[in-house]
Amino acid sequence: MDKKQERELAGRMVEEIQRLAEGQGKLRFMEVCGTHTVSIFRAGIRQLLPENVELVSGPGCPVCVTADDYMDLAIAYAKREDVIITTFGDMLKVPGSRSSLGEAMAEGADIRIVYSPLDSLQVAKDNPGKKVVFLAVGFETTAPTAAATVLAAEQQGIGNLYLLSAQKLVPPALRMLLNDPEVHVDGFLLPGHVAVVTGTEVFDFLAEEYHMPGIVTGFEPLEILRSLCRLLQQKREGRAEVGNEYGSVVRKEGNPVSRRILEQVYEPVDANWRGIGRIEKSGLRMKEAYRQFDIRQVLPLAVASVQKKTACRCGEVLRGIVTPYDCPLFGKACVPTHAIGPCMVSVEGVCAAWYKYGSGRFTYGR
């Protein structure tokens, strides 16, 4: 399909969305994934929707939901002479309760930017006298690669490679949102990247237990528009199903190899989500057989986080209760080059996306 045909098809889908939305009350759909947030902004989809259909952003940016006590712990490890931290670059600016990894790096901490957890293996091989700690942050999408790194370290006899895990699971977060009386959502655009690994079945509880429609969605504008049509169709007919509009890569059962690796290395654990709090069984920690790769087990550190008083509203932003525009710091004290909260740090952070792309529609929550 060429660009002209794509535009024509998009136009027909927008008309279909308008037709399906007509006569329905106000509807609020949540895009869970940060990549969706950026795609929606880039394509200007919010502005194409009828007045009664709104898109709200959810807790699907891994950097945004990484709690400050985790960052404090990572900084404490980074400051040790015997530790090298490996991490993705956007973690450097994420605030802890007192400082950031970037500040620790400026003060001399040995922090290396990697593009894959597997890069940490070479750092560990090159530095046998140091403990190399990979900051394992992310969702089901990236967790298999971190688990594969642990398995590779075991296979290669690398004894100085560890993870500091803050990896999280999306389905328990959706359950938390649906149990939260402050959150009002009528359907979900479900994260395609996560579903590649998990499959669609893990989201079936949305329809079965909450009568909530959800569509696993790809990242192209046409895929997002088609998914919105399907959500609206279900609302119109009073149905609730979990569908798949990313069928080219997402299967019902997910990726069996990735799922097997995840189940081999990790087990679910309660986890702290920034601004949201503790969610039952929403995190991943290493199973007993792999605890020698868990830096918390090998080198436990007691770090007291400071309770900060700040006007940052990330917690509410991540639950779709307010928009970034409702935060008094947005675009003033808090900008991408000087982020006060984590939602402004990553390019996929909700506040960063709103700051970069703006929007003609900021009415939800009112």
Nearer to ligand SF4, 195 or 312 (CB): 312
Count of alpha carbons within 13 Å of 173, Cβ hemisphere only? 30
Site membership for ligand SF4, residue 71 (CB under 6 A)? no
273 scored as a contact of ligand SF4 (CB under 6 A): no
* Contact call for residue 329 and ligand SF4 (CB under 6 A): yes
H or E segment to which residue 36 belongs: helix 34-43
Judged by beta carbon, residue 173 or residue 314, the one nearer ligand SF4 is: 314
Q: Is residue 334 within the footprint of ligand SF4 (CB under 6 A)? A: yes
Angle in degrees, 0-180, between the axes of helices 221-237 and 34-43, rounded to the nearest 10: 100
Q: Does 61 bind ligand SF4 (CB under 6 A)?
A: no
- CB 190 → ligand SF4: shortest distance, Å? 24
Q: Is position 344 an interface residue for ligand SF4 (rule: CB under 6 A)?
A: yes
Q: Are 308 and 274 in contact (CB under 8 A)?
A: no
Q: Whose CA is closest to 31, among 216, 172, 148, 189?
A: 189
Q: Please identify which residue in 121, 312, 319, 323 interacts with ligand SF4, judged by CB under 6 A.
A: 312
Q: Tell me the number of residues near ligand SF4 by CB under 6 A.
A: 14
Q: Does 114 bind ligand SF4 (CB under 6 A)?
A: no
Q: Is residue 200 within 8 Å of residue 216, measured between CB atoms? A: yes
User: DSSP string of 261-294?
Assistant: HHHHHEEEEEEEETTTEEEEEEEEEE-GGGGGGB
**Lateral strand order in the sheet of 242-244:** 53-60, 27-33, 187-191, 214-217, 242-244
Residue 245 phi/psi, 5° resolution?
-105, 20
Which member of 250, 330, 348, 364 binds ligand SF4 (CB under 6 A)?
330
User: CB under 6 A: which stretch of 78-86, 140-148, 224-232, 311-319 binds ligand SF4?
Assistant: 311-319
CB of 271: closest distance to ligand SF4 in angstroms?
A: 20
Asked if residues 195 and 246 have their Cβ atoms less than 8 Å apart, the reply is yes
Choose, by CB under 6 A, the member of 71, 73, 327, 353 that binds ligand SF4.
327
Alpha-carbon span 106 to 110, nearest angstrom: 9
Which residues are bridge partners to 31 per DSSP?
57, 189
> Among residues 285 and 319, whose Cβ is nearest to ligand SF4?
319
Q: Which two tokens stand for residue 52?
A: 């009664």
Which residue minimizes CB distance to ligand SF4?
341
**Residues 86, 172, 341, 346: which binds ligand SF4 (CB under 6 A)?**
341
- Residue 329 CB, shortest distance to ligand SF4, in Å, is 4
Site for ligand SF4 in 156-185 (CB under 6 A): none
CB nearer to ligand SF4: pick between 40 and 146: 40
Can you read off the two tokens belonging to residue 279? 């969610």
**Interface positions with ligand SF4 (CB under 6 A):** 312-314, 317, 324, 327, 329-330, 334, 340-341, 343-344, 351
